[in-house]
Amino acid sequence: MRVIGIDPGLRKMGWGIVQTDGVRLRHIANGTLTSKGDTLAIRLLTLFDGLREIFAEHTPDAAAVEQTFVNKDGAGTLKLGQARGIAMLVPAQAGLLVGEYAPNTVKKTVVGVGHADKRQVEHMVQMQLPGAQINGPDAADALGIALCHAFHLRSARTLDMALKQASA
């Protein structure tokens, strides 16, 4: 199963794809989309088009997006929410359910500490995906989101199998 993680941002949107085969994880690709344009609408369109190209090229089977945290700048939070809408729309158009994870959940899953910094996340992503060339901090965060979703999907499958065996 190919899992894409998306770290939404209006200027830079990180993305990362991992392949999971049971307990094995393998890096597929990662990168950062940079929005271009003079207006918000055009910047959102460039993110939308870029993410659609990634989906067309890599055909993920599952998707996850980091939840928005509210900061002191209301206008900035609103713009981030619009970029997050793009990050959720493209997987939905591909027919995928979109997992959503709080930043602390991703950090706790990947690093073991809910308040880890970006360097710790990138280090642990690199440890779990040896040989991956990570395209910057936004891509590292996106790979962390993909890993988090892969772990949660695996746990859900294990629970489903256990419940089926218990009821048989």
Residue 161 reports pLDDT greater than 70: no
Given 49, 66, 73, 117, which residue is catalytic?
A: 66
- Sign, CA torsion 22/129/11/76: positive
- The predicted-structure confidence for 99-157, as pLDDT tens digits, reads as follows 999 999 999 999 998 888 889 999 999 999 999 999 999 999 999 999 999 999 986 55
138 included as an active-site residue = yes
Condensed to tens digits (0 to 9), the pLDDT of residues 75-106 reads 878 888 899 999 999 999 999 999 999 999 99
Segments forming the whole domain that contains residue 130: 2-167
Look at residues 84, 93, 25 and name the one whose alpha carbon lies nearest to residue 59: 93
Domain total in the chain: 1
Q: Which of 49, 57, 73, 138 is catalytic?
A: 138
Look up the CATH number of the domain holding residue 115. Answer: 3.30.420.10
- Position 164 scores a pLDDT of 63
pLDDT of residue 154: 83
Q: Do the annotations mark residue 66 as ligand-binding? A: yes
Which tens digit of pLDDT belongs to each residue from 49-61?
999 999 999 999 9
Distances (CA, A) of 11 to 33, 75, 126, 151, 164: 8, 14, 24, 29, 46
Assigned token pair, 150: 């892969």
12 beta partners: 34
Which of helix, strand or coil describes residue 130?
Answer: coil
Would residue 38 show up in a list of annotated catalytic residues for this protein?
Answer: no
Q: Are 67 and 77 in contact (CB under 8 A)?
A: no
Tokens of 78: 């609103």
In the prediction, which pLDDT does 168 show? Answer: 67
Tell me if 7 is assigned to a ligand binding site: yes
Does the annotation place 138 within a ligand binding site? yes
DSSP string, 64-123: EEEPPPP-S-HHHHHHHHHHHHHHHHHHHHTT--EEEE-HHHHHHHHTS-TT--HHHHHH
Based on the residue annotation, tell me whether 122 is a catalytic residue of this protein.
no
